Structure 1
Amino acid sequence: MIYTKLKSVKCVVLDVDGVLTNGDILVTEEGNQLRTFNVKDGYAIQYAIKQGVDIFVITGAKSQGVKLRFEGLGVKETFLGISDKWTLLRELLEKYDYNTEEVLFVGDDMPDYICMQKVGIAVSPADAVEDIKKVSSYVSKLKGGEGVVREILEKLLRLQGKWHVDVLTPSV
């Protein structure tokens, strides 16, 4: 059933900490918060965008480094410091004329819960909290920061006929 739904996804919404990162935050003496991101997630994000999938990031994080990372990948809009993700997501659906069935949301913790209940497909990493796993259409075998986003975007693009291996591999 999830595979049928993946074919109609037009919009992917991503949380950051615990999804695109392992959830660890290194805080410098100056108070800067540092995260590591999986390069394979990044590749899949930029490739999905080139294939016409709209990607949005909605996070409670407030780091400008997070914003710069996703701007560099071509993410349509990145929202930092958001505590009420559902209100924002509803506004995005209206602005871009999407219905909830066309939306895939990847989250891992309680701030993502309402969004994940309301969208067409909810995806979580293996180490998401139990309540999130219960509302997920798909629970990855990968933990946050280990390529969860790459995994689901590749599945989505393959099912939509948009994962073109000949374009992905350089000619020799």
Structure 2
Amino acid sequence: MNEAGRPTSSRKLILMGRVTGAFGVRGDVRLESWTEPRQAIFRYQPWILRAPSGAERELRGARGRDIGKTVVATLPGCEDRDAAEALRGTEILVPREALPPPAPGEYYWVDLEGLRVVTLEGVELGHVSHLFSTGANDVMVVRGERERMLPFVQPDYVKSVDFDSGTITVDWDPGF
């Protein structure tokens, strides 16, 4: 652990949801789940719980259900409403290796982060900092000599993703 209470390992963690508060008096918690469907969050374990303070701990055996407007979870060791309420704001992360392999032509964003981005002509634009969704399409934020936002649209702009070489090739004007 480092001084912030975080593990010093370099494994990639994927943010899957967060605790939004207590549910009932027996220690169950309400979750905001970013999986599809929402209750699929329970398929991916162990969970790494990251408190708002940054402290992390591993949890196995979470179970729960979708009750319409929210997902309710029962967590081992969380026995009463006070313990559940103390988890409010806690992020739920899972190790990247807990996720199934993506389908051909699909990618987990975390796998794209850090890859080098080059144009068809070989001009290096930088490295993928992160991605975000606009609703219409996903956008790669590429940081190099300056920051660029490129639509992650295949095959229009993103021509190839090569994990072996760590490179994404794009059809993009370097001046834009």
Structure with the higher strand share, 1 or 2: 2
Structure with the higher helix share, 1 or 2: 1
TM-score by length of 1: 0.25
Larger-gyration structure (1/2)? 2
By relative contact order (CA 8 Å, sep 6+), the higher-ranking structure is 1
